[in-house]
């Protein structure tokens, strides 16, 4: 009787621990930045995939090319070891100075450009990114071809 009660308690405890979602460990806000979450589906060979983060803002802009720069910092959630990312303040880059047709202003997505925005694909944990208020997060999944090409010896 004691063994079955002990086994039931262990099984209940394991079920309770597994029921907690990894996302529950992440705060909804860090230093005034809002939490954005991407849950990637499982794929057969995750080493063939990468995820590109495309943060940006919807703003009224003319025909000139515009973008923002902002560093993306990788942090680790204390006590859990889960990685998360924080995008710092957005800074506008110099745009082109073309003469635009009157009335060419429109509301469009102006993206953040940077080197650290491509990350390894992982479906084990949610991808958590903290962005300043008003910044949207889009993403793109990149897939490598199965075929490998041979390099020539010269």
The CATH code of the domain that includes 44 is: 2.60.40.550
Does position 8 have pLDDT exceeding 80, yes or no?
no
124-136, pLDDT tens digit by residue?
Answer: 999 999 999 999 9
Q: Which helix or strand (DSSP H or E) is residue 86 part of?
A: strand 83-87
- Taking every pair of C-alpha atoms in the chain, what is the biggest distance, in angstroms? 85
Question: How deeply is 68 buried, as exposed, middle or buried, from its count of CB atoms within 10 A (0-12, 13-18, 19+)?
Answer: buried
Count structural domains, the chain: 1
- As a whole-number percent, the residues of the chain with pLDDT over 90 amount to 56
Residue 50 has what pLDDT?
97
Predicted confidence band of residue 16 (pLDDT cuts 50, 70, 90) = very low
Name the range with the highest mean pLDDT among 13-27, 32-46, 55-69.
32-46
* Residue 154 included in any domain: no
Are the C-beta atoms of residues 84 and 128 closer than 8 Å to each other? yes
> Is residue 69 assigned to a domain?
yes
Which residue did the predictor score with more confidence, 98 or 51?
51
Asked whether residue 24 is assigned to any structural domain, the reply reads: no
Q: Is 9 contained in some domain?
A: no
d(CA 59, CA 136): 11
**78 vs 31: CA distance, rounded Å:** 15
Alpha carbon distance 111, 54 (integer Å): 6
Residue-number span of the structural domain to which 90 is assigned: 32-143
Rounded Cα gap, residues 130 and 95, in angstroms:
26
pLDDT of 75-128, one tens digit each? 999 999 999 999 988 888 887 777 878 877 888 899 999 878 999 999 999 999
Does 55 fall in a domain? yes
Closest CA to 137 of 31, 26, 39: 39
């Amino acid at each position: 009787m004691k063994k079955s009660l002990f086994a039931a308690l262990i099984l209940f405890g394991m079920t309770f621990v597994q029921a907690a979602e990894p996302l529950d460990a992440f705060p909804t806000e860090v230093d005034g930045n809002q939490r954005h979450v991407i849950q990637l589906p499982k794929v057969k060979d995750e080493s063939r995939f990468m995820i590109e983060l495309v943060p940006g803002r919807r703003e009224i802009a003319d025909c000139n090319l515009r973008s923002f720069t902002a560093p993306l910092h990788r942090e680790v959630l204390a006590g859990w070891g889960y990685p998360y990312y924080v995008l710092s303040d957005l800074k506008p880059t110099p745009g082109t100075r073309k003469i635009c047709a009157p009335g060419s202003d429109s509301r469009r997505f102006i993206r953040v450009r940077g080197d650290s925005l491509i990350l390894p694909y992982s479906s084990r944990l949610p991808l958590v990114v903290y962005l300043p208020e008003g910044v949207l997060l889009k993403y793109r999944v990149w897939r490598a071809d199965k075929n490998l090409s041979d390099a020539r010896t010269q």
